[in-house]
Amino acid sequence: MKKIAILNGPNLDRLGKREPEIYGRATLADLAAALRAEFAGKAELDFFQSNHEGALIDKIAALADAKVDGLVINGGAFTHTSVALRDALLGAHLPTIEVHISNIYKREEFRHTSLTAPAAIAVITGLGLEGYHAAVRFLLKA
């Protein structure tokens, strides 16, 4: 069975608890439950969330060492700021899909740049939590 990691960056632990008009009402636990339900028996899913840049980087290195089959990452605001996260992803050489719940291109100018996107096969932005499902589906076929 393929192993797929799902990484979420800063403040995504607040999902469903604030700003429902942008991010919806489902929590990160709801997302994990929905993904586990869809991919039961099809993929081994490893969920990780951190508000700390270094913790995300350490996790990416560990996933690279473990040679997981795919990575879905929502780097949150680090997407727009972190050269270190980009370097970690480029160095990991893992099939990666970048996901954003909101459409970053409909929002403030500073969200229009993703430093991490060049490390990804594709970016899914604006499909809500469905983006994570689509990303895992793609990685299982890839």
Which residues belong to the active site?
23, 100
Nearest Cα neighbor of 100 from 86, 87, 117 is 117
Min. distance of Cβ 79 from ligand CA2 in angstroms? 6
User: What whole-number distance in Å separates Cα of residue 19 and Cα of residue 46?
Assistant: 26
Comparing CB distances to ligand CA2, the nearer of 3 and 27 is 27
Classify residue 119 by its DSSP letter: G
Shortest gap between Cβ of 95 and ligand CA2 (angstroms)? Answer: 20
Is-contact 7 58, C-beta < 8 A?
Answer: no
Q: Residues interacting with ligand CA2, by CB under 6 A?
A: 11-12, 14-15, 17-19, 23, 74, 76-77, 79, 100-102, 104, 111
